[in-house]
Amino acid sequence: MLGVNHKSAPIDVIERVAITGEAMTKALHGIVTRDNVRETVVLSTCNRTEVYVVAEKFHGAFADVRDFFCEQSGLSVDELLPHFYSQHDDAAVTHLFEVASGLDSAVLGETEILGQVKDAWEIARTEATARTSLNLLFRHALEVGKRARNETSISKSTASVSHAAVEMATDILGSLSDRRVLVIGAGDMGAGIARALANAGSRSVTVMNRSRERAELLATTVGATVSHINELDAALAQADVVLTCTGSGEAIISISQVQNAQSIRKNAPLLIVDIAVPRDVEHAVGEVAGVTLRDLHDLRDWAQAGIDARQQEAEEVRRIVGEEVERFNQEVKSRQAAPLVAELHERAESIRRAEIDRYAARLAALTPEQREAVEAMSKSVVAKLLHSPSVQLKNNAGTPQGERIAAALRDLFEIE
């Protein structure tokens, strides 16, 4: 696994490496066709872009993915490497499980990341860049994320970026109930913001989106009004609070638009919270009179205050992650050993069957019940004899000891 996230890089670097929309399909195939990569899943969110690969050679795959990041971002190797991190084997498994559990999020325990992990995996499965190994890993990661949230309180209180954005806005302005709020974007993040506003008692919410149908669907569920993105200038002039998260890939709110809006509003206070990556709002907008601009960097600083209260839950989640890494490794070992275990049982069954047939004449006088007893007894003997070598194969799969056990069993049972 190789990536860049909110801990390793500033937001402008995260924006440069982010992969959105239709670019994801191109990225998956651009990675999996490289010399040292057999499978890949790309997880790109507002806080991270991480590439998970099954590699032919670690160092070769590292170079392949590093080069991809440079091509994607336009950054040189020297510019990228200080912000770049990598994990392999158990460390990579642990990292993904922690990501799915919300331990590695800017908002500790956030719930949105689990859906983002699922979406990333499903796209890779659809494009056939995730196959046997990564399918097993990501299926298990989703199970870990669900278990962490079911067995602990890690996701209680502020547990999503969208809810945190609304809570931060409330901290800055006080109650939002009488504020005119504009939500730009009707995707998962926008839906989370709209629900959080409804829960906070906001009475004047407008949902704006390029797809009016999607905006109307969301607005209906939270009692909001609808506006099209083409009406942005007029909406800015009417809003007290703007929360934006379109994922459009480029800024949709310029300094000139906000200056015009503020001219109409006579520089009345306007709070803009931009949680999109890449950012929806030009950075210079924060310099306009009357405007307070907050982005993901500010949100992370604000959310840090709530992290300490959930550290005890985080420790319990880490314990769960440790258990699940061990369980995952055991499942991988079992799958590695499965073909030889199956061959071993097939070989033993053929011997058992041959011996039953060899004594068929002597068993001819047996009643059906007695013949069933002989069958059951002989199968039981075979199963008991093979139990220990089968367990040893599974427990030692992928190790030098496992290879020695496998070689010995192939020789003893004449398995090719």
Give the separation between CA 110 and CA 349, rounded to whole angstroms.
Answer: 52
What's the average pLDDT block by block, 10 residues per block, for the chain (416 residues)?
93 90 93 95 94 93 94 93 94 97 86 92 96 94 95 75 89 90 91 87 90 87 89 95 89 95 95 92 95 91 71 90 92 79 85 88 88 90 87 76 80 80
Q: Residues with Cβ < 8 Å from 82, sequence gap 6 or more?
A: none
Give the pLDDT score at 232.
Answer: 95
Is residue 245 among the annotated active site residues?
no
Task: Find out if CATH 3.30.230.10 is the number for domain 2-151.
Answer: no
Which residues are within 8 A (CB) of 379 and not within 5 positions of it... i.e. 6 or more apart? 352
pLDDT at 308: 65
**Which sequence spans correspond to the domains of the chain?**
2-151, 170-304, 330-412
Buried b (16+ CB within 10 A) or exposed e, 69-104: bbebbebeeeebeebbebbeeeebbbbbbbbbbbbb
CATH of domain 170-304: 3.40.50.720
pLDDT computed for residue 307 by the predictor: 67
Per-residue confidence (pLDDT) for residue 151, from 0 to 100: 93
- Of 1, 18, 41, 46, the active-site residue reads 46
Q: Which pTM was predicted?
A: 0.70
Q: Which two tokens stand for residue 326?
A: 């061990």
Count CB atoms within 10 A of the CB of residue 322. 12
pLDDT of residue 287: 95
Q: Residue 305: its pLDDT value, please?
A: 65
What are the strands, taking DSSP E only, across 194-303? 204-209, 225-228, 241-244, 270-274, 291-295
The pLDDT assigned to 112 comes to 86
Question: Burial level of 337, CB count in 10 A (0-12/13-18/19+)?
Answer: buried
CA distances from 156 to 58, 111, 160, 337 (A): 39, 10, 10, 41
3 state SS of 10: coil
Question: DSSP character for 108?
Answer: T
CB 197 within 8 A of CB 205: yes
